[in-house]
Structures are given as structure tokens and as C-alpha cells.
Amino acid sequence: MSVRSETELTQEIERLREALSAREREAAENERQLERYAADLRDTFKQERARAQELQRSYTATVSALSNAVEARDAYTGKHAERVAAYGMEIARTVGLPLAEMPELEFGFLLHDIGKVAIPDAILYKPEALTDEERALMQQHPLIGAEIVGRVGFLSGAVEVVRSHHERWDGAGYPDGLAGEDIPLAARVFAVADVLDALTTDRPYRPASTLEVAREMITVESGSQFDPRVVNAFNSLDDQVFQRIAAQIE
């Protein structure tokens, strides 16, 4: 090998080394840039999540306020809707409803009787039995409620509970006379939660039943008023689950 070509080789190696370290610097800079992008993305994601949570809290507060306004007319029921919503969410989780993760479900439970705003006081508070005509009007409240709730974008998922909350598993309910699995599952869950709260709170005409008696009364109606699957889910939950909710929401 000549001296000249050896020098050339050394220069070539030197040139390659420089090129390599230039590439390495470039790669390191790219990596730093990527890390900055990733950090920015993480920040944006965190901010978005915080904003979404804040929005969700506002929705829930608005719906609760609306539900309380509806219930304020119905003096004896107190916080019925809030308790029913809490009972209903527990049962929904046990039935394995993916809906339990959806805020719309809770909104539907809270607003189930919103259609009663259109029912005159004379009918809503009538102590005697309703005439056929009055009953027909009263039974419009799920339809009126569905109409009200259906117009609000973020409440659209609540419509089926509001519309079908008086349906019965055996088809004898209203307003559509749906039976069995034609009734939305969320409304079937609601039916059990609703009766549970009605039975375990004092009413002017009768004292509250114990949870044990309420369980018996609900179980007797499994397959007639209620979906047996929902009743089983309800019965698989411990008393403490319901007692805790009842103590928290008085």
C-alpha cells in the first residue's frame, strides 16, 4: 500500500467519523424534539381530560337541579330520584350493563318523571282515585318526558329510560305496552330501583317496609312486573349497599 493511499484512507475514515457524529447529533436532536412533542401531547391530553370532567360535572349538576325542581312539586317523595339513581347504578353494574359507565343512564334515572311538569296539580295531588280520563292524562308523563329530554343533545341517551320507566316485564305497563326484552334494559333496571325506594320510604298512607320485606315483595313480582335477571342481580347485592345509599341520600 502506498503512503499516499494510506493518507487518503485516513482522511476517508476521518470524513466518515465526522459524518457519523453529525448524524448522531441530528438523531439526538430529533429525539429531543420528539420528547418535547410527547410532553406537549401529554399536557394537551391532561387539559382536555380536565375540561371533559368539568363539563361532565356541570351536566350532572344541571340534571340534578332539574330533577330536584321536578321533585319539589311532589312533596312526599323527597330525594326519591337521587336514591333511585344510586340504587339503579348499583343494580346496572351487577347486571353487567355497559351502560353503567354512561352518564346518560344516571341522567335517565334522575329525570324519569320530568314529564310530570305537564300534569296539572289537581291530578298530581288528587287524594281520591283518578277518573279514567285523568289516569290517561297522567299516563302521558313518560311520553311528555321523553319529548322534553329528547330535545337536549347530551340527554338523548336518557330518553329510553324516561319513556319506558312504567313498562312491565309482562307487557301490562304503559305507555307502549312493551314486554320482556323489548323493554330497554336500563328501564327494566329502573323499575326495580324505583319500587325498592318506594317501598323502603315512608308514605302518608303507610310506613316504610324493611329491606327484607321489600326484597320479598320485589322477588314475588319477578317474571310479572320485573325482569327476573334484574331481580337476581338486585338480590345478589348486599343489604349494606342499599343501606349506605339510603343513609347518604335522605
| # chain residues binding Fe ion, by CB under 5 A | 1
Cα Rg of the chain, angstroms: 31
Q: Which helix (H) or strand (E) holds 161?
A: helix 159-164
User: Considering the complex, what minimum distance in angstroms separates the CB of residue 168 from Fe ion?
Assistant: 13
- Classified as helix, coil or strand, 67 is helix
Q: In the numeric block, which cell numbers belong to residue 6?
A: 494510506
Q: Does 90 bind Fe ion (CB under 5 A)?
A: no
Query: Nearest-CB residue to Fe ion?
Result: 113
> Residue from 71, 90, 113, 167 that binds Fe ion (CB under 5 A)?
113
108 vs 230 by CB, closer to Fe ion: 108
38 vs 172 by CB, closer to Fe ion: 172
Q: Which stretch binds Fe ion (CB under 5 A): 34-42, 107-115, 129-137, 215-223?
A: 107-115
User: Considering the complex, what minimum distance in angstroms separates the CB of residue 103 from Fe ion?
Assistant: 21
Catalytic residues: 116
CB-based contacts of 151, cutoff 8 Å, min separation 6? none
The separation between CA 70 and the C-alpha centre of its own chain, rounded to angstroms, equals: 19
Q: Which stretch binds Fe ion (CB under 5 A): 6-14, 109-117, 151-159, 204-212?
A: 109-117
The CA-based diameter of the chain, rounded to the nearest angstrom, is 120
Q: How distant, in Å, are the alpha carbons of 1, 77, 169 from that of 239?
A: 94, 22, 25
99 vs 142 by CB, closer to Fe ion: 142
User: Considering the complex, what minimum distance in angstroms separates the CB of residue 165 from Fe ion?
Assistant: 6
User: Considering the complex, what minimum distance in angstroms separates the CB of residue 113 from Fe ion?
Assistant: 4
Q: Give the 3-state DSSP-derived string for 187-237, with helices as H, strands as E and coil as C.
A: HHHHHHHHHHHHHCCCECCECCCCHHHHHHHHHHCECCCECHHHHHHHHHC
Q: Which stretch binds Fe ion (CB under 5 A): 7-15, 113-121, 216-224, 227-235?
A: 113-121
User: Considering the complex, what minimum distance in angstroms separates the CB of residue 244 from Fe ion?
Assistant: 25
- Classified as helix, coil or strand, 76 is helix
113 vs 160 by CB, closer to Fe ion: 113
Q: Tell which residue, 161, 180, 158, 184, has the closest CA to residue 226.
A: 180
Q: Which stretch binds Fe ion (CB under 5 A): 50-58, 85-93, 112-120, 170-178?
A: 112-120
Whether 84 contacts 109, CB under 8 Å: yes
71 vs 113 by CB, closer to Fe ion: 113
Residues that bind Fe ion (CB under 5 A): 113
